Amino acid sequence: MNIVYSTNPDFNYNDSEPELSTLAPGRQKLRVSIEHHHRGGKTVTLVRGFVGSDDDFQALAKQLKTKCGTGGSAKDGEIIIQGDNKEKVVSLLLQLGYTNTK
């Protein structure tokens, strides 16, 4: 919403964004990939495509990192897990009900 000026004295500017509702795991379209470019030569596993609230996103990231036994982070819409754990992450996501995972 790009409002510069309003002459309406009763105008109520609301800049908060609506909270995203988290899609059911079966409706999520997650993509798992391996990347090592721009990472100082380190290999990481990326999970992209999660649609939902930030709390659910952080909870999924924590669960994946714990099950893989590695570190990582969750920011900018992608879950970063250290190391080449693609097969393990895909199998964990399928166990959690994320059936549309590649």
User: Residue 96's pLDDT is what?
Assistant: 93
Specify the CATH number for the domain of residue 56. Answer: 3.30.780.10
pLDDT tens, 23-43? 899 999 999 999 998 888 899
70 or 20: which leads in pLDDT:
70
Please check whether residue 6 lies inside any domain of the structure.
no
Please check whether residue 101 lies inside any domain of the structure.
no
Q: Based on the structure, what is the number of domains in the chain?
A: 1
Q: Alpha-carbon distance 52 to 36, whole Å?
A: 27
Please check whether residue 61 lies inside any domain of the structure.
yes
Please check whether residue 1 lies inside any domain of the structure.
no
pLDDT tens, 69-95? 999 999 999 999 999 999 999 999 999
Please check whether residue 7 lies inside any domain of the structure.
no
Please check whether residue 4 lies inside any domain of the structure.
no
- Predicted confidence band of residue 8 (pLDDT cuts 50, 70, 90): confident
User: Residue 7's pLDDT is what?
Assistant: 81
Please check whether residue 46 lies inside any domain of the structure.
yes
Structural domain range at position 85? 25-95
